[in-house]
Structures are given as structure tokens and as C-alpha cells.
Structure 1
Amino acid sequence: MALNTPRGWLITYDITHPKRLARLHRFLVKHATPVQYSVFHFEGSTAQMGRLMDDIDSRIDPSTDDVRGYQLPERLSIDTLGRGSLPGNALVLSATSPSLQQLLARPTKLPTTRS
């Protein structure tokens, strides 16, 4: 896949200082979709993700904070438990990342196996 091909990314963070946490959250909401607390979905090329991570790096303390970016595979399998992040029948559409809908979907009960 070319470096300029859009793809889905998960950005996760653990920020130790409340003010930095609030600033980073406000920044990320402008560039990515919140999935859960401290977890965002970003759509963009590898170069765009690199620039975003550079911008994030200037907003954190690397000695105490932790930020990670994970490239999502084209075929994504998700198991969820508990309540989902979208209210009711809300729908999120994404032309470049069909996995975003899966990330935000209400959980389904997983089949159980009995021995």
C-alpha cells in the first residue's frame, strides 16, 4: 500500500497531568473521532499520521505520558463487551475506513462454549 493511501488508525493515550490531558483531548477531537476514553480513530495516510504524532509529541511530556498509534488492518475483527459508545441507532459513515463503524458499534453478545 502506498504511503499516501488513507487508512484507519487508533490513537491511544495515558496522560499524567490533568491540564495536558484536557489540551490533548481538545486537540484530538479536531483531528480524529473519539471511540472511548483516551482512544481515538484517525483516518489518513502514513505521512498524515506522522505529522499528527509530531503535533501530539509537542503537547505531551514524553518522560511521563504515553501515546500510541496503531494502524488498523483492512479486515478488522472486533469483540466488545459492555455498553457501546453510540446512542440508539446512530450511524457513522466513513468512505476510507469502514472499520470505524465496527469500532463504534454496540456490543453483541459473544457465543459461549460449554465443556
Structure 2
Amino acid sequence: MKTKKILSTLLTWLPSLIIVLFFIPNALDKILNSNQTGKIVSNTAVMIIAGVYLLIAVVLFLYNKTVLIGTTLLAFYMTLIVCIHMYKGKPYEVTILIVMATIFASYIRKPQLFHQK
């Protein structure tokens, strides 16, 4: 029975960990390599702020009491990225999947947040 509980917990957190493994390197890249060229905004301060925003959103996403706020922030960020990709004519299908996976991961962890009372 204990193995089943551990496996259940692991499978519940696995999608969230995969999402985090995408967002944290992205945030650190924006902070540490803030003078990126070819971006829609090439201002280093904006890139650093975006990186800090992502790190804060990831922390909120991982903490169980603020998972809804973190999910909202991450989904909002990635929705803006989808719009930017559409504007620039880049492929945007993967970014849409990341938005959906972020929402799905928080739903798996706390499904009661998505049900009306």
C-alpha cells in the first residue's frame, strides 16, 4: 500500500516537474544572458524582469497553496509567447502545447480548484 501511495505521488508530480524543467532554464537564460538579439524586445532590463517573473511564477506553481496563481502566471506568459510567435511567423504549436501542459499539470495536482462549488 505504501508503494502505491509513493507511486501515486510521483505520477501526480511528474508533469509539474517536466514543466519546471522547461521554465527554469528559460528563466535563467533570460537573467544570465539578458543581451539576446533577435527577440521582439532587445532591452536587457526587460529580459531580466521576464526571467525573474518566470522564476517567481515557477515557485508559486510548485507551492501547493499558490498553484492556481503560479499556473495563471505561467499560462499568461506562454500565451504572450504564442502571440509573439504568431506575429513573427514562427511555429507556435509547441508553445500552445506548453500552455495546455501547464494547466493540465496543475489540474492533476489539485483538481478541486477547477470545479465549481
TM-score (norm 1): 0.29
| Greater length-normalized contact order (CA 8 Å, ≥ 6 residues apart) | 1
Normalized per residue, which structure has more strand?
A: 1
